[in-house]
Amino acid sequence: MIYHAMAADDWLAAPDRPYAPSSLRNEGFVHCSPDEPTALAVVSSLFRDVEGPLLALVIDEDALDAPVRWETADGRPAAEARGATLFPHVYGEINRDAVTRVMEIERDEEGHATRLTPGSGH
């Protein structure tokens, strides 16, 4: 399973279509995390100032219609990683049937992600 963090409104915007965040258009892929602790660290680093609820998609990598490549955070291939953490990047839309769970991301008063909890019908 891989994880993708987002604002709840982004996931709910077009529930009848595959999910395609702006990073797919701007960078050519959807950023994901390899596990829950990494997803929480990414949220704490990049989403601290995002208003409103945040969600984490738990995605079955094998059920995706789009290819997944494990690369550095900036998109360099694994061969060029030189010890850097590798992240799963989805090179296409996220088909909703590949999402096995939608989790809510709990944050503390400073915006740091503290844990994932089962979603409430998202």
Tens digit of pLDDT at every position of the chain (122 positions): 999 999 999 998 888 999 999 888 998 899 999 999 999 999 998 888 888 999 999 999 999 999 999 998 877 777 887 877 899 999 999 999 999 999 999 999 888 999 999 875 44
pLDDT, residue 122, reads 46
CATH of segment(s) 2-118: 3.20.170.20
List the structure tokens of 93. 């839309």
pLDDT, residue 121, reads 47
Q: Is the dihedral of CA 49, 34, 78, 21 positive or negative?
A: negative
Cα separation values, 73 from 29, 61, 79, 100, 111, Å? 11, 18, 13, 24, 22
CA 109 to chain centre: 22
Quote the pTM value: 0.89
Residues in the chain: 122
Instruction: Give me the residue spans of the domains in the chain.
Output: 2-118
**Buried-exposed string 23-54: b where 16+ CB fall within 10 A, e elsewhere:** ebeeeebbbbbbebeebbebbbeebeeeeebb
The residue whose two tokens read 């409104």 is 9
Instruction: Confirm if 59 and 88 have CB atoms less than 8 A apart.
Output: no
